[in-house]
Amino acid sequence: MASHSHSLNYVGCNFLRQRLVLSTLSGRPVKIRKIRAKDDNPGLRDFEANFIRLIDKITNGSRIEINQTGTTLYYQPGLLCGGSLEHDCSPSRSIGYYLESLLCLAPFMKQSLRIVLRGVTNDQVDPSVDVLKATALPLLKIFGIDGEELELKITRRGMPPKGGGEVVFVCPVKKAVKPVQFTDPGKIKRIRGVAYSVRVSPQIANRIVDSARSILNKFLPDIYIYTDHMKGTSSGKSPGFGLSLVAETTNGAFLSAELVSNPQGEGVAVLPEDLGTDCAKLLLEEIYRGGCVDSTNQSLVLLLMTLGQQDVSKVLLGTLSPYRIEFLRHLRSYFQVMFKIEMKPSDEERKGGEKVLMTCVGTGFSNLSKTIK
């Protein structure tokens, strides 16, 4: 074993993706011990091992050491290389699990990334491809990561448990990230959504739309929910349906919510009408929490603020989840960045939950991998 004295050391399986992503960007090696050491089935799970293989694919020169029981991982990051790649995701986690990390890494590669990911596109655990397309891509553009190349396309839908979906993610590379001042979300001006159904009756998507609209039309007239019924090879290998909703504000903030039917053979059958109304209520909850970035993308915005030019960035967020609080601790460990956190009570004009104003000075991160033209 090599000398690991200068690596960051952690215990346990929590926050594995955070640690590997930040290690790759900062160049700091990381050692994680006692991964599920006390479990009956100790060590890395299949989706975690699959994620590590993806990290290995998109980097050049990375060194990964895993002990025989899978309970200790040492990762020394190489350079992000990008290019044209393909990856089969683990069936136990959706493509969104992998995409969340790729959105953090793709802008800082040597070449533009074009990756085809195969697996489950929509499940009950991770953000769906639909939500990431509608919320994360506009967020990247705010930080100057834009261009015609930036694209996320669903070519096949795949529901759990068997998956069979396929998406294409294309992202340009950037030399640097610009600082942002995004403190006023504005007011909700429209709601868009996608009701999808695969290997079930096409009428199910229409029933979802009608029930969601019965709630949302009480608050806003500008609502359009598309129906997406994929057939044949485009419909994956398992039946299912779901709804993703996105509210857009006058100042370009996007707030999302989504729900997916139970996988075939698991749990109680869900009525399309119940799924539609429940998802609409979830969106109203997200709007109540508010902020300029929805809860799905809090980690992405905090990372991009950290990697921005050496200037002040400010973003107003809704309540921070424990996962995001841990992410802030990791940003301090890997990049020595501290955020100023100010609690902002809701005002009379915009009733809602307590907000958090996040302020930091960017590290002036520069993409050294980017090819100089």
- The pLDDT score that the predictor gives to residue 368 is 67
The reported pLDDT for the residue numbered 1 is 34
Q: How far is CA 50 from the centre of its chain?
A: 17
Helix axes 46-58, 16-26, angle to 10 degrees: 10
**Phi/psi of residue 275, each to 5°?**
-60, -40
348 pLDDT higher than 80: no
188-289, which class in CATH?
alpha beta
Q: Where are the domains of the chain?
A: 1-78, 188-289, 293-361
- Summarised one tens digit per residue, pLDDT across range 162-185 is 999 999 999 999 989 999 999 999
pLDDT for 349: 57
Residue 147 has pLDDT above 80, yes or no: no
Q: Rounded distance, CA 163 to CA 239, Å?
A: 10
pLDDT at 232: 87
Averaged over 20-41, what is the pLDDT? Answer: 95
Q: What is the rounded average pLDDT of the residues 246-255?
A: 96
The average pLDDT across 83-88 equals: 96
pLDDT at 110 over 60: yes
What percentage of the chain reaches a pLDDT higher than 90?
87
Q: Is pLDDT of 95 > 80? A: yes
Identify the weakest region by mean pLDDT among 6-20, 203-217, 357-371. 357-371
Model's pTM, two decimal places? Answer: 0.94
Is pLDDT above 60 for 373? no
CB atoms within 10 A of CB 283: 27
Q: Which amino acid is at 292?
A: C
**Given this model, what pLDDT does residue 2 score?**
42
pLDDT digits (tens, 9 = 90+) for 117-135: 999 999 999 999 999 999 9
The reported pLDDT for the residue numbered 353 is: 83
Average pLDDT over all residues of the chain: 93
> Is the Cβ–Cβ distance between 144 and 174 less than 8 Å?
yes
Nearest to 205 by CA among 228, 175, 178: 228
**Which has more pLDDT, 54 or 321?**
54
% of the chain at pLDDT higher than 70? 96
Q: Residue 266 has what pLDDT?
A: 87
Instruction: Dump pLDDT digits (tens) for 260-276.
Output: 999 988 889 899 999 99
Asked if the bond preceding 91 is cis, omega within 30° of 0, the reply is no
CA 170 to the chain's CA centroid? 15
